[in-house]
Amino acid sequence: MSQTILLRVGKKGAIYLPKSIMKTLGISEGDRVLVKVEKNRLILEFIPDPLSLALKVEKWCKTTVGEFEEESEKMQYELYET
């Protein structure tokens, strides 16, 4: 996918992405973007939120809260009480 769009730099250096690009990349207000400067190029790379990413992928395991708590207690015992 390749798109070229002319943007204008706003106050305090702000660059506003069009909704179409945000929708295509799955970017929402408040998301993080990595900025790289290479010679005379400005490269923006979307960094997905790990929690949002985890919620979107297919689940391959089911764990109840009780099972999680039991495993947590077991690990704590092994780490701190031996």
Boundaries of every domain in the chain: 11-80
Q: What is the pLDDT along the chain (82 residues), one digit of tens a residue?
A: 688 899 999 999 999 999 999 998 888 888 899 999 999 999 999 888 887 777 777 877 788 889 989 999 999 999 888 6
pLDDT at 19: 94
* Phi/psi at 37 (5° precision): -115, 120
Fold of 11-80: Pemi-like Protein 1; Chain: D (2.10.260)
**Entry pTM:** 0.54
Residues of 24-44 as b/e, b for ≥16 C-beta within 10 angstroms? ebebeeeeeeeeeeeeeeeee
pLDDT at 13: 93
Tokens of 81: 């009480």
Instruction: Report DSSP state, residue 54.
Output: H
Element (DSSP H or E) covering residue 41:
strand 41-47
